[in-house]
């Protein structure tokens, strides 16, 4: 009994030590975003515990709320775009960025639309999701300017929420819509066409491949003080993504969470998500990001990018190089 009691006590102490030893990483994510269910898959597979991490998830309503959380010290990690992170870095907030996804939206049109290129948008009504400073819209404008076209003047842009614009397009009130990638999937399953892909727009602006516009954002002090935990987090995240890529069964709870009745949307969602997983070295991503940054800066000006005409080379963080 004494030996058994000692063993039981040792197990309790061991468990308590493990709990205390686990490094906590606070992540702020949008409840409806892809990051939230990727983290759910990580936890379901026990990858967080295997990496001796305690991942504390805070769900926020908007991307702006996530930005406020990391700037206010309420979160250690968020997913945002390098355009915002670069601006904040130029203003003195030393943020770092590592690629998360290359998935962007595209210009959607009815199947029989004559729109095939950016020049075809002249004289047509174009819904723009995300507002006048949306990164995809800025990239589209920059690419059109290379062909001598100012889409703000030659097209008829209308800004609005993604679901509203999708319905306006479906009802024939818009000729085309520049939508977020998740809403493009819904339109595709309803018979609409991807007329202009953002990957082609990026290449027109000098990128050599699909660019991860969104990524994990965190501060330099956090990277210095918790580098080992950060490395383990990214390794666990990579394993979660690999599992999602290879095991369709892991998508069942995602389907339920997204409230899709059929499999067609889920299959397309899974396909587009897999296409968005970054496959290039971080150095190549950073090089292409610099080319796109210059193009965006030319459109948005100082009000958008601050006082930095070029992308800070120190913004991009390579988890592999940090080991």
pLDDT one-digit tens code per residue, 143-187: 999 989 999 999 999 999 999 999 999 999 999 999 999 999 989
The pLDDT of residue 323:
55
Q: What integer pLDDT is reported at residue 252 of this predicted model?
A: 86
Write down the pLDDT at residue 266.
Answer: 86
**What local confidence, expressed as pLDDT, does residue 256 receive?**
81
Q: Which fold has domain 23-102+212-305?
A: D-Maltodextrin-Binding Protein; domain 2 (3.40.190)
266-316: per-residue pLDDT in tens?
888 899 999 999 999 999 999 999 999 999 888 887 777 777 788 998 999
pLDDT mean across residues, the chain: 89
What CA–CA distances, in Å, run from 264 to 244, 270, 297? 17, 10, 39
Domain boundaries, the chain: 23-102+212-305, 106-204
Q: What is the pLDDT of residue 309?
A: 80
**What is the per-residue pLDDT for 91?**
87
Q: Which pLDDT band, with edges at 50, 70 and 90, does 65 fall under?
A: very high
Q: Do domains 23-102+212-305 and 106-204 have the same CATH topology?
A: yes
Fold type of domain 106-204? D-Maltodextrin-Binding Protein; domain 2 (3.40.190)
Q: pTM (2 decimals)?
A: 0.89
User: Cα–Cα distance between 112 and 255 in angstroms, integer?
Assistant: 31
Residue 13 clears pLDDT 90, i.e. is over it: no
């Amino acid at each position: 009994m004494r030996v058994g009691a000692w063993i039981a006590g040792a197990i309790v102490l061991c468990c308590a030590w493990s709990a205390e030893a686990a490094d906590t990483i606070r992540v702020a994510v949008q409840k409806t975003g892809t990051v939230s269910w990727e983290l759910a898959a990580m936890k379901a597979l026990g990858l967080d515990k295997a990496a001796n991490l305690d991942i504390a998830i805070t769900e926020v309503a908007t991307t702006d709320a996530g930005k406020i959380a990391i700037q206010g010290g309420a979160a250690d990690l968020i997913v945002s775009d390098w355009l915002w992170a670069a601006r904040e870095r130029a203003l003195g907030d030393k943020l770092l960025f590592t690629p998360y996804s290359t998935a962007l939206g595209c210009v959607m049109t009815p199947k029989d639309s004559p729109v095939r290129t950016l020049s075809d948008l002249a004289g047509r009504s174009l819904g723009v999701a995300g507002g006048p400073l949306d990164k995809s819209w800025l990239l589209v404008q920059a690419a059109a300017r290379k062909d001598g076209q100012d889409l703000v003047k030659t097209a008829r842009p209308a800004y609005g929420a993604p679901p509203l614009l999708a319905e306006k397009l479906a009802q024939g009130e818009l000729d085309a819509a520049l939508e977020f990638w998740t809403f493009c999937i819904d339109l595709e399953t309803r018979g609409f066409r991807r007329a202009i892909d953002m990957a082609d727009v990026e290449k027109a602006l000098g990128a050599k491949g699909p660019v991860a516009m969104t990524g994990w954002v965190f501060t330099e002090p956090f990277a210095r003080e918790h580098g080992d935990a950060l490395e383990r987090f990214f390794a666990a995240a990579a394993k979660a993504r690999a599992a999602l890529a290879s095991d369709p069964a892991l998508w069942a709870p995602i389907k339920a969470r997204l409230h899709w009745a059929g499999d067609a949307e889920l299959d397309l969602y899974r396909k587009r998500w897999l296409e968005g997983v970054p496959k290039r070295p971080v150095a190549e991503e950073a090089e292409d990001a610099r080319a796109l940054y210059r193009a965006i800066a030319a459109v948005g000006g100082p009000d958008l990018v601050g006082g930095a005409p070029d992308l800070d080379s120190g913004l991009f963080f390579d988890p592999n190089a940090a080991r």
